[in-house]
Structure 1
Amino acid sequence: MPIDVCDKNGNHIGVVHKRFMDKWNICMVALTDVRARELKVDIEKIKELVAAEFGCKKMFGKVKEDELREKMYELLKSENRNIISYEELMITVFLNHFSEKKIENFIDEKALENKIRGYILYDLNKLELKQNSIAVNQDLGYINEQLELDWDKTAIYAKIIDYPILETSSYYIKLNEAYEYTTKIKIISGNYEEEMKLSTILDCKKDMGISLVSSKKKIDRVFCDGRIYML
């Protein structure tokens, strides 16, 4: 089931758990031994949503299964049509097309209590499948290093992949000069890359691991090289 996530060798690393801030196509993958089957994914609820979106419901609300199946498989490249089941494809379509829907509302959250070790990010625009799972085909060595630190179970683990840029700017408040300090970093987490601008001087280097804690709209805390930064 494609809510399971594996590494490039096909080893299970976690499950898709929630969306990342306001980015509709980016999901947070919970690093856990829990499998999708334990989450009791509400397939029927998802099917109702997808069928309505694709216009595959009869007058009294019954789903037109054959028509829905055909329309969903048309979305796939021909080489992928034999490696994903109808149910798995439905969940994948849901993740891609219903950005306003919280993933947590379609799974049993209790199955994940005290079993999450942290998160990585997944870009659904780069979706790859392997062994009935969503696959992350990038190197994930930085995860183990940060898991050993055991800083925050809600943290997103990432790696800095370019040289950080430190910036200082000045402005005036009632004739008094004030300064603003920022650090620009480019990170990779899972299969997702992003350039971030953080409102502090971050003591970091290229190839260094970094952990991020986010709210709904921004990064709130950063852990890097043994230091915690509150933003």
Structure 2
Amino acid sequence: MSTDNYVIDHRNKVKRVPKRGFYDKETVYKILDDGCVCHLSFVMDGQPFVIPTLYGRHENKLYFHGAASSRLIKNLEQGVEVCLAVTHIDGLVLARSAFHHSMNYRSVVVFGKAKLVADSGKNEALKVISDHIIPDRWEEVRQPTGKELKATAVLELTIDQASAKIREGGPVDDEPDYILDIWAGVIPMKHLFQAPIVDEKMTKELHIPNSVKNLLDSQERA
């Protein structure tokens, strides 16, 4: 199998409607890059947990941060197996029958093990997360102090295995239902940023920073 594709086995193989499954890194990366919130799942002492958190991607690695004392950090730094999911809902698919209603979506499931980022690499890893969410904001703000870095732990997750699943298009009804006088179609959904709201504690009037302008501009072009 090409190195541009993830190995397929029982963990990541899409079983329900397999034609919607994708295993190439380009598709997986695009879905990851279009989001910034994931759900991380792991098992601790026989109890499963799912934790939502922000992430950033650089090549085949994902980065997360949190308080050094948090349950997420304390458990994942031990090298336990992790399953991560990211989902985008692109539309509600309304069919002629209740049974065939659906959603258009893009999703990714990732498998791997996390490890702590060394102190010497924390700044760069945090920059990856920041740039993933809003590019160039890192250069506009005060950098973390030594005390802040000590209180923060950063995890690096190599994507050992992954799969994407995508549903797009209109409803698929049973053939006899197409003659029914029932409206069917798709209601598109889109995540949009709105106009920035200035912090009421600002001591002076400042221009909107370039990172914010660029984010809004890129949204308008999309």
What's the TM-score once normalised by structure 1's chain length?
A: 0.22
| Larger relative contact order, structure 1 or 2 (CA cutoff 8 Å, min sep 6) | 2
TM-score normalized by structure 2? 0.22
